[in-house]
Amino acid sequence: MNETPSKPAMSPVKVEAIDPLDSAVLDMPRQAPRFNVLSAIQNDQPHAPAIHPSVAHGKGIVEIKDFSLYYGPKKTVHSVSLSIPVGHVTALIGPSGCGKSTLLRSVNRLNDLVDGVRTTGDILVGGESVYAPGTDVIDLRRRVGMVFQKSNPFPMSIFDNVVYGLRIHGERRRSVLEEVCERSLRGAALWDEVKDRLQSSAMGLSGGQQQRLCIARAIAVEPQVLLMDEPCSALDPIATLKIEELILEISQKYTVLIVTHNMGQASRVSDYTAFMYLGRLVEYGPTSHIFQTPTLPETEQYITGKFG
Amino acid sequence: MRRTAYDLYRRSLSALIFAGCVGCAVLIVGVLGWVIGYLSSIGASSLSIGFFTELPSGDVANPGGMKHAILGTLALVAMAGVIGVPLGVATGIYLAEFKQDRYILAPVRFTADVLAGVPSIVIGILGYELVVVPMGSYNGWAGAFALAFIMVPIVARTSEEMLRLVPDSYRAASLALGATKAQTITRVVLPAATGSLITGIMLALARICGETAPLLFTALGSRLLTLDPNKPFPSLTVQIYTYATGPYPEQKRLAWAGILVLVALLLALNALIRYVASRSITRSIA
Ligand SMILES: Nc1ncnc2c1ncn2[C@@H]1O[C@H](COP(=O)(O)OP(=O)(O)O)[C@@H](O)[C@H]1O
Ligand SMILES: [Mg+2]
């Protein structure tokens, strides 16, 4: 390397090299001409999320109302209000760790499994409160299906996996179980691949097939809402494409709330998109609006990959 | 790269450690082989069909067989299993699946660990005080209770460990479908862990098969085939102990044969355990 011919004096050079960078970073917010929502959020200052009028009606199948969640002392979801329209796909996007999964798991109260979780505000599913004392969590979870980030079929046969939800709710008639199994597997675009081996173990399926099996298992009990937490993040591009097609298919019948890390996926599969940042809702509206003419420049910056 | 003295040193040290490990392994296998070989050479000569089919004759020169003791041990282990397995597995389920009861779990776990470490003679005396004295005589129930007492903490702790190997994603999937906790445990968690639970249970059964001390104060032992749990109860280990400590050479020979049968039983049980363990679902998914 052709460094200065002088002695390798270290410290002064380093300090000079870092100094201008540092001040540039520090200068950036000062140079910003307008109130920045993201820096307001970073500084824990109040901000008003940009909600498109088409989703400000408050008549969603899922109504998240001023909902906050704490993991122990740590506030992870900050007063989020969100109205999920029935019969559509709504995507939750935002940088990793911003609380998308947490918010999703709040809808079916799966966060109950975590020690020391506390919530304020409420969520309504189909008009019924999720957090009111005396809520039947078992019934709530029957009405709200969930597909997880990592496919998690039970170590049982494909058939037993699909009809698990029915069996736990007391259905025993073989004919009903078989009918629902076929309908659900068809609904999850898996029937043709597995119809000849329904009794073999689900663990032998490929990753993409396992995830579609989990979707079949979730829709077998005909939930009002289907939650999906990054359902393609562990899959290869072709399996991802199949699931995306499946989500579009499913949305003919079900309301889907999907967390995704992938902007392209959000724009392809969703009708509405909510952008979250550090546990707050930043902007929410029709996907075309969010991706083409977002109200906030911060949303545009995130969507075009300038940060996050 | 320099090939230095240090390089030579670390390579030699590695070779030395490897040789040491191989040596220890060979030593242990060798000792086991020697024990089994020695047992076989002495015991096999006294082993005959009669050993399994005959009862004690009362004639010290021609003492008969140990049919009563073999059946007695099987019956005692079965009775202990019927008492100990449900208790142990239930405790294991509680320890593994009810994490929110944090302040109860720690003492229960601690108690189980302490109980698992209590010398078995102490458990024998406990059985004597709690069962034999109230019932007025040595009896099979007392023996079975003592053995069950040894089993419960072992089964509880191994079950807990096995259930912990079942991924939480199964529980989440089940609960998210609207299953109750009990349904999740009985329909998903336990089936997923069955193989490994059986392994733990069989380990505990193998352990109690060879127990002598807790039976001396409880079941006492018997030369009769009256498998009545209200009376003194025969067992292989106590019969071996009685014959081996007695003065008659023919009975001592019979004791050697009994030891050989006991060791063969334990080896077979362990082979079975390994087989079940290798097939258990929890291992293939964990
Ligand atoms: N079970 C938990 N206990 C404590 N903190 C958690 C738990 N799950 C998530 N968090 C924290 O909450 C924040 C949001 O997490 P998460 O909802 O998983 O984000 P996202 O899905 O947007 O990546 C993160 O800072 C994470 O560390
Ligand atoms: Mg997440």
User: What are the tens digits of pLDDT across the range B17-34?
Assistant: 999 999 999 999 999 999
Using a CB-CB distance cutoff of 8 angstroms, which residues of chain A are in contact with residue B177? 141-142, 145, 164-165, 168, 217-218, 221
Residue B173 contacts A where some CB pair is shorter than 8 Å: yes
Most ligand 1 atoms within 8 A of CB, residue of A68, A69, A71 to mutate: A71
Mean pLDDT along residues B189-217: 91
Pocket of ligand 1 (CB under 6 A): A 71, 76, 94, 96-102, 114
- pLDDT score recorded for residue A34: 55
| Exposure b/e, B218-257, CB count within 10 A at least 16 = b | bbbbbbeeebeeebbbbbbbbbbbbbeeeeeeebbbbbbb
Among the partner residues A156, A164, A203, nearest to B177 by beta-carbon distance: A164
Residues of chain A by 3-state class (helix, strand, coil), percent to 5: 40, 20, 35
The number of residues making up chain A comes to 308
Among the partner residues B171, B176, B192, nearest to A146 by beta-carbon distance: B176
Residue nearest to atom 14 of ligand 1 (CA): A99
pLDDT in tens, A165-177: 999 999 999 999 9
Q: Are B119 and B184 in contact (CB under 8 A)?
A: no
Better-predicted residue by pLDDT, A18 or B193: B193
- pLDDT score recorded for residue A156: 94
| Closest chain A CA to residue B186 | A168
| Closest chain B CA to residue A154 | B170
DSSP state of B56: B
Strand partners, A225: A144, A255
Mean pLDDT along residues B202-228: 90
CATH T-level topology, domain A32-153+223-303: Rossmann fold (3.40.50)
Helix (H, G, I), strand (E, B) or coil at A187: helix
| Position in ligand 1 atom list of the atom nearest CA A105 | 17
What residue type is assigned to position A47 of the chain? Answer: H
Whole-number Å distance between alpha carbons of A135 and B221:
60
Most ligand 1 atoms within 8 A of CB, residue of A102, A105, A118, A278 to mutate: A102
| Position in ligand 1 atom list of the atom nearest CA A96 | 23
* Prediction ipTM score: 0.85
Mean pLDDT along residues B250-264: 91
- pLDDT score recorded for residue A10: 43
Lowest mean pLDDT among A10-14, B112-116, B249-253: A10-14
Mean pLDDT along residues B124-130: 94
Q: How many CB pairs under 8 A join A and B?
A: 70
- pLDDT score recorded for residue B89: 96
For chain A, the structural domain boundaries read 32-153+223-303
| Closest chain B CA to residue A113 | B172
| Residue ranges, chain A, pLDDT below 70 | 1-35, 308
- State whether A154 and B178 contact (CB < 8 Å): no
- State whether A168 and B188 contact (CB < 8 Å): no
